[in-house]
Structure 1
């Protein structure tokens, strides 16, 4: 599976989407992230590990705390991948608009 596919797979799960939302605001430790969910800390840690493996997160150690950082460059890459299709859809929607408008004339 390509790195892009791994990133989208990781981003497609609701818990991980919420984690991305939290880390988009600021870096956090595992315990703090887990405090936002009704699941165990080990369950949250598994989500974080998957997100690190696909490159969405980095982790640094500050004392005894493992701090997670969102890799904004990877989020940007995912956004660029999606953006490449916007021109396609813009053209298709413009064609559809033209067809609908011509039928109503």
Structure 2
């Protein structure tokens, strides 16, 4: 199944994994050590992040190292930017309405 970036970042555990890997490349055990859930659960989260292109896994000897591939988050940033403009306009209109109501 091909997943998209929005599915991947919907889960708080996956967001935290991305945050960790954005700072430093880690092996799977080091990632799992930061969570109170099972290693198989972390592996599943890593698999989802890999399927959507947010994490790349590199084999070095017996270890598998994960690194964040943050270019894919640009898609999310562009999508949210459209709605930022929309909500700014709506909130500005609400502010004007409330000011007019208070002036009455």
- When normalised by structure 1's length, the TM-score is 0.87
Q: What's the offset of the Cα at 1:58?
A: 1.1
Cα separation, 1, equivalents of 2:67 and 2:82: 27
Q: Does residue 98 in structure 1 map to residue 93 in structure 2? A: no
Cα separation, 2, equivalents of 1:47 and 1:57: 10
Q: What's the offset of the Cα at 1:101?
A: 0.5
Q: Which residue of 1 aligns with 2:85?
A: 87
Q: Residues 1-105 of structure 1 correspond to what in structure 2 (within 5 A)?
A: 6-105=4-103
Q: Structure 1 residues 13-22 or 86-95, which shifts more?
A: 13-22
Q: What's the offset of the Cα at 1:77?
A: 2.1
Moved over 4 A (4+): none
Cα separation, 2, equivalents of 1:48 and 1:54: 10
Q: What's the offset of the Cα at 1:40?
A: 2.3
Cα separation, 1, equivalents of 2:71 and 2:30: 24
Cα separation, 1, equivalents of 2:93 and 2:37: 47
Q: What are the Cα deviations for residues 4-41 of structure 1, in whole angstroms up to 9, with x where unaligned?
A: xx312211112112111211211111010011112222
Q: What's the offset of the Cα at 1:88?
A: 0.7
Cα separation, 2, equivalents of 1:72 and 1:43: 22
Mind listing any 5+ residue stretches in structure 2 that lack a counterpart?
none
